[in-house]
Amino acid sequence: MRRTAAAMTALVLAGAGLGAVTAAAGTATAATARSAACPTGWGSGAKGGVATGAVPLKDIRTGRHDCFDRMVFDVPGGGALAYHVQYVDRLVQNATGRHIPVGGGAVLDIRVGAPAYDPESGEPAYPGQTGRPLPGVDPGGYRAFRDTRFAGSFEGETQVGLGARARLPFRVTRPAGRLVIDVAHTWTGGR
């Protein structure tokens, strides 16, 4: 009877140990899967593209995602937009050379080939004010974004400063009528 009880106790303890190892492996696998789900390899170097047609900028909005924060420039009917995006030491307004302070550990200088005004009438198409935060955009609660500043619109190009937590990897995509900038939360692809 004692041998049977001892054998049963050994089996129960072995099973509990196996369950703990399996649970730990499952947790590690889940963490790896979450990490692997986030893209890596975007880099932090300057990115740019040429236009296939552009019209006035209508809106700038942001969004939060699991792996990155997103800024979208809406230019309905604009086709593939010209753009240049790069990290800079400080944001310098294209038209005047004036420094525009942007909060955060790093600053992305974003230039989009769409004016913030209607080229035909000169009327504002986007309500940004030079040196001020972007209207309707609050970077509070974002993991990568810290600040936004409108730098103006000059000769058909709109300039925006995006303050990031650090010099994080980013990508730029151009679905028709939009320019999308995603800034990763980390360099490692983890959440």
Q: Check which CATH number belongs to the domain holding 153 and give it.
A: 2.60.40.3500
Q: Are residues 91 and 158 in the same domain?
A: yes
For the ranges 40-49, 53-62, 99-108, 172-181, the one whose mean pLDDT is highest: 99-108
- Sorting pLDDT into bands at 50, 70 and 90, what band is 175? very high
User: How many domains is the chain partitioned into structurally?
Assistant: 2
| Predicted confidence (pLDDT) per residue in 144-172, tens digit | 999 999 999 998 899 999 999 999 999 99
Mean pLDDT of the chain: 84
Residue 42 placed within a domain: no
**pLDDT for 54:** 65
Whether 96 and 120 map to the same domain: the answer is yes
- pTM of this prediction? 0.79
- If asked whether residues 66 and 124 sit together in one domain, one would say yes
Q: Are 70 and 180 a contacting pair, CB within 8 Å?
A: yes
Specify if 189 maps to a domain.
no
pLDDT tens for each residue of 85-140: 999 999 999 989 999 999 999 999 999 999 999 988 989 999 999 999 999 999 99
Give CA 115 to chain center in angstroms. Answer: 22
Residue 38 dihedral angles phi and psi, to the nearest 5°: -85, 135
Beta-strand relationship, 106-112 and 99-100: unpaired
- Asked if residue 16 and residue 52 are part of one domain, the reply reads no
User: If you search the block for the tokens 């769409």, which residue do you land on?
Assistant: 114
Which of the four pLDDT bands, split at 50, 70 and 90, describes residue 50? confident
Co-location of 140 and 180 in the same domain: yes
Domain extent at residue 3: 1-37
Q: Is 191 within the bounds of a domain?
A: no
